[in-house]
Amino acid sequence: MSMQTVCCPLTTNKIDLMVNSGKLSTTIKPKSLVTSSAGALKKQHQKPFDAMNNIVANLLLNLTSSARFEGSLNMDLNEISMNLVPFPQLHYLVSSLTPLYTLADVNIPTRRLDQMFSDAFSKDHQLIRADPKHSLYLACALMVRGNVQVSDLRRNIERLKPSLQFISWNQEGWKTSLCSVPPVGHSHSLLALANNTCVKPTFMELRERFMRLYKKKAHLHHYLQIEGMEESCFMEAVSSLSALIEEYNQLDATRSMPVEDLPRLSVAV
């Protein structure tokens, strides 16, 4: 089971805790059903994949809100790749939703506006198992829906910037979107998309699990029966993945470098 597959049941169980207790709990017993991937799949949801699909659907609804509704700062989908992907290979974005809920649990407690922005950068609201707040940001997009002013958006960005580490050459790497139509049942919501080095452990675990299977030649015959598919394709894929991990390593190595205050260009009069 992949890391993302394990994370989705844990996310649905976090939502259950929030619905039942009125808040998102971060203190969970180590052997509880919430931390067990096997138990998480069996907990309260008779159809757990419905809840997982609802979370993805909720993400897509927020992602495409600017294309469907009016707003003071609408964001075209092309702008996401243009502003958040500085290098073609580093195009993997970490997403977080707040409030975090499935489409079947719209009546969860409302989050305060400032708390909503703080939640978007906490590990409990990420849709993969990652903690971007303790990793390096290349760029970040905030897609807000509801009765939120531009001043609220700017104030919260300034409030959160000291606790977030952006790469030295893109300290102002923010992209914002404001859609005036809130989601059903809520006054406001926020989808955060981050290009962050916290995805590196996901790829490292993926490589490790693949190599364990590849050394045993497990399932290879299913793929080698396909015309044009050769065993060398697997090693090329591993090499590409290792190169991607190395790129993230090089970026992480720059975290200790001081941020230079580059001189601005002066315009001759």
How far apart (Å, rounded) are the C-alpha atoms in residues 69 and 168?
A: 35
What is the token pair recorded at 160?
Answer: 């959160």
Out of 46-60, 133-147, 151-165, 193-207, least confident range: 46-60
Say whether 51 sits in a helix, a strand or coil: helix
Residue 258 has pLDDT above 90, yes or no: no
CA distance 122 to 135: 12
220, two tokens: 């290879």
pLDDT at residue 1, as a whole number: 34
DSSP 87: S
Q: Identify the band that residue 154 occupies on the pLDDT scale cut at 50, 70 and 90.
A: very high
Question: Would you give the distance in Å from CA 217 to the centre of its chain?
Answer: 33
pLDDT band at 94 (very low <50, low <70, confident <90, very high): very high
Residue 95 clears pLDDT 60, i.e. is over it: yes
- 6-20+49-199: CATH topology is Rossmann fold (3.40.50)
The residue ranges of DSSP E strands in the chain, in sequence order, are: 94-98, 136-146, 165-166, 174-179, 188-196
pTM for the whole thing?
Answer: 0.76
| pLDDT for position 23 | 53
The strand pairing partners of 97, in sequence order, are 191
What 3-state DSSP class applies to 34?
Answer: coil
pLDDT tens for 12-60 read 555 555 555 555 544 433 333 333 344 444 444 456 677 788 888 888 9
Other CB atoms within 10 Å distance of the CB of residue 59 = 16
Q: Where are the domains of the chain?
A: 6-20+49-199, 202-254
The number of CA neighbours under 13 Å toward the Cβ of 36 is 9
